[in-house]
């Protein structure tokens, strides 16, 4: 009896080991395939964003008797109107503030170095060789870091929004996906063997909910943080408040490090006015982050959609290392897909009836 149990245990461990080998092999194939076609992924990534943004509106109109093609056209017209207003009123402000920030960056760095030197003179115990080398090296590294960020803003903007063909293809691809959404879903269902069809569609639904929920949730959180920080900095009289709010909102997607990376330029710019203003800016940004952590994120991000901060950082690092900027764009959605698969098979193995993740309203722990 014990011998039989031992054999079964060895077989079970062997199955687990080979399953992990299969997962690693599958991931390797996916990474290789993505790397091979990474230059053509951008329009499809944009199309995915269009789909997740417009699908709730299209479905809402469709459910109320509006023909789907009319619902699509109305949705596109509404999105076009919003983007036109943003381009007319927000675009010039961001461009002007970005240009001004780049031009004044050397001045801000000089002021910051002056504060560091004054601090060292006021604290003689820091004048030792090691402390001096550390502060000097830190200052030089920080100066180089800021200059690289400023110099990369135009390039990053061009890489994200550049490519006329990509910008034309993305909404066209999204239009056909949304138009034939039910037909595509039926085709995918027919491709799955009958005995696995129900489970397969359940997995696809879970992946769709997790990825869509994460994208929409992070967009709402980033927008909320950007508006709060932009308004607060503008009220304090900090230069380039709109640009800074925009940057803080974008970097907020990166746990822990993101708010720091986004907030450092605001503190540096505030130092150009006074150290008192810089302290106030630090307090305000910390307050906004606490509001985000306690009130905003828990109410927007479902526990089925939310990813652990360590997983987000790991996914971003791996994606950036393997595929560069495009890898960072797709890293978090792929991590969300991995979590969706993990949840599904864990719940199936535990014999737990799976809830509809689209209807969940849980709180982030």
269 pLDDT above the threshold of 60: yes
- Output the CA–CA distances (angstroms, integers) from residue 145 to 138, 158, 173, 264, 308, in the order listed: 10, 20, 38, 11, 27
Per-residue pLDDT reduced to its tens digit, 184-237: 888 888 888 888 788 788 888 878 887 787 778 888 888 899 999 999 999 999
pLDDT given at position 160: 52
End-to-end CA distance of the chain: 44
Mean pLDDT, range 335-357, rounded to an integer: 69
**Helix H or strand E encompassing 24:** helix 2-36
**Cβ distance 319 to 327 under 8 Å?**
yes
Return d(Cα 248, Cα 130) in angstroms, integer.
34
At 360 the pLDDT is 46
Length of the chain: 365
Tokens of 317: 């690092």
Task: Considering only CA atoms, give the Rg of the chain.
Answer: 25
Nearby residues of 22 by Cβ (< 8 Å), 6 or more positions away: none
Tens digits of per-residue pLDDT, 94-109? Answer: 888 888 888 887 787 7
pLDDT at 144 over 70: no
Mean pLDDT of 23-49: 73
Any residues with CB less than 8 A from the CB of 357 and at least 6 apart, and which? 205, 206, 209, 210, 213, 302, 304, 305, 340
């Amino acid at each position: 009896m014990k011998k039989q149990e031992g054999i079964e245990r060895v077989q079970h461990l062997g199955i687990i080991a080979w399953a992990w080998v299969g997962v690693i092999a599958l991931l390797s194939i996916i990474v290789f395939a993505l790397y091979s076609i990474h230059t053509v992924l951008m329009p499809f990534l944009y199309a995915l964003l269009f789909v997740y943004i417009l699908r709730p509106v299209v479905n809402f109109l469709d459910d109320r008797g509006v023909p789907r093609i009319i619902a699509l056209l109305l949705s596109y017209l509404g999105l076009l109107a919003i983007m036109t207003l943003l381009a007319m009123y927000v675009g010039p402000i961001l461009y002007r503030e970005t240009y001004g920030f780049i031009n004044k960056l050397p001045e801000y760095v000089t002021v910051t170095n002056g504060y560091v030197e004054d601090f060292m003179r006021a604290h003689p115990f820091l004048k030792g060789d090691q402390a001096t080398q550390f502060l000097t090296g830190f200052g030089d590294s920080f100066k180089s870091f800021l200059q690289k960020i400023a110099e990369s803003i135009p390039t990053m903007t061009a890489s994200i929004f550049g490519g006329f063909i990509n910008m034309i293809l993305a909404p066209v691809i999204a239009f056909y996906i949304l138009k034939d959404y039910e037909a595509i879903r039926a085709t995918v269902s027919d491709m799955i063997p009958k005995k696995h069809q129900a489970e397969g569609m359940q997995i696809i639904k879970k992946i769709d909910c997790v990825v869509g929920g994460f994208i929409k949730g992070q967009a709402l959180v980033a927008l909320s943080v950007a508006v709060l920080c932009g308004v607060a900095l503008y009220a304090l009289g900090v230069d380039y408040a709109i640009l800074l709010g925009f940057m803080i909102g974008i970097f907020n997607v990166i746990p822990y490090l993101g708010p720091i990376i986004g907030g450092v330029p605001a503190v540096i710019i505030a130092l150009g006015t006074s150290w008192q203003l810089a302290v106030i800016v630090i307090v305000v940004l910390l307050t906004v982050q606490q509001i985000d952590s306690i009130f905003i994120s828990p109410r927007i991000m479902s526990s089925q959609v939310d990813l652990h901060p360590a997983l987000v950082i790991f996914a971003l690092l791996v994606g950036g290392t393997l595929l560069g900027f495009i890898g960072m764009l797709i890293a978090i959605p792929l991590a969300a897909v991995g979590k969706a698969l993990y949840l599904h098979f864990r719940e199936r193995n535990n014999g737990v009836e799976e809830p509809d993740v689209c209807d969940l309203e849980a709180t982030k722990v």
